[in-house]
Amino acid sequence: MTINLSSKQLIFITGKGGVGKTALTAALSRSLAATGRRVLAVELSAGGSLARCFGREEAQYVPQEVSAGLHTCRLTPGECLHEYGHMKLKFRRFYRAVFENPFVRSLVSMTPGMEELLLLGKLGNVNGAMARGQARAPWDIVVVDAPPTGQGTGLFALPTIILGAVSTGPLAKETRALQELLQDEQRTAILIVSAPEELAVNEALEQVTALRDDAHLPVRAIVANRVLPELRAPEDEEVLRNFAQARRTRDLMTGTYPLVSTALRMLGLRRQQEAELVRLRRRTTIPIFEIPLISEGFVGPCGDERLEQALAPLLLQDEE
């Protein structure tokens, strides 16, 4: 089994909110584009921050080029419905009569799962164009910043739920094609982003069960983000503690030296992180990649090239 994401057509980045999945989506998209692939980075929620990672105030439904080989866009249910309607009903008059009907719009927004199905359907259409040949599609890889854990799990499980209720007809046919795409490990990969914290690890493990074990989807790796560095030597902590407790230090600084106190707190946090990483490794056989904590604010809110460098050797290599 390999984890060579550059060979995939559709990559989903999901995980608990606040663990940095949008920043990793942007960094991974840049890394893939740097290998010569034509990449489309997609966000699935209005008001997301993916566009800002590429220096854009707001993403549009129509893909925008942000750098050589890299485009970004935002998919919304309303715009997906508009495109779907024009695709199925070739004439604008018919489209307005059906899809702009207030009752139809209310039905779409009120039907559970319908908006998520429209988003998946759009991704399926993009992938279908990619599968039909290079001349028909401008992308080699689509990288999706998926919704947070709860909503994201529901999004991935939707085809199975629909096929459990509808077995024949156009809806079943299109949904079955979506399910085959999502479950195809040759074309699709799902990365779960976590953090070395108790709640994030719990959600990551629950999502592995829901996506890989229950829905049979290709969860290829868990990315443990913002991991603090290890001590250079075991004696470092003892040296810091002795310095902080020394009488001369307390007298001169009117208390413990603040940088030393901060370092000791970070060491304690590192031990907590390591305990969670150990628990994560024990509870799953999925490969776990650690991404070091990288300070934000140097280039933009989603990090800089250091994050891309941290991802490249981990997510673009074959598994040992």
Q: What domains appear along the chain, each with residue ranges and CATH number?
A: 5-229+286-315 (3.40.50.300)
**Nearest CA-CA partner of 290 in 237, 202, 230:** 230
> Cβ distance 85 to 99 under 8 Å?
yes
Stated pTM of the model: 0.81
**Nearest CA-CA partner of 224 in 283, 163, 178, 287:** 287
pLDDT at 1: 40
Q: Per DSSP, what are the bridge partners of residue 52?
A: none
User: Can you read off the two tokens belonging to residue 295?
Assistant: 């300070």
Q: Per DSSP, what are the bridge partners of residue 142?
A: 10, 40
pLDDT at 285: 92
pLDDT at 94: 42
> Cβ distance 20 to 295 under 8 Å?
no
pLDDT at 163: 80
User: Can you read off the two tokens belonging to residue 58?
Assistant: 């707001």
Q: Is 297 exposed, middle or buried (0-12, 13-18, 19+ CB in 10 A)?
A: exposed
pLDDT at 283: 95
pLDDT < 50 regions, the chain: 1-2, 91, 94-95, 97-99, 103-104, 107-108, 110-112, 134-135, 249-254, 297-299, 301, 318-320
> Cβ distance 203 to 269 under 8 Å?
no
User: Can you read off the two tokens belonging to residue 9?
Assistant: 């057509």
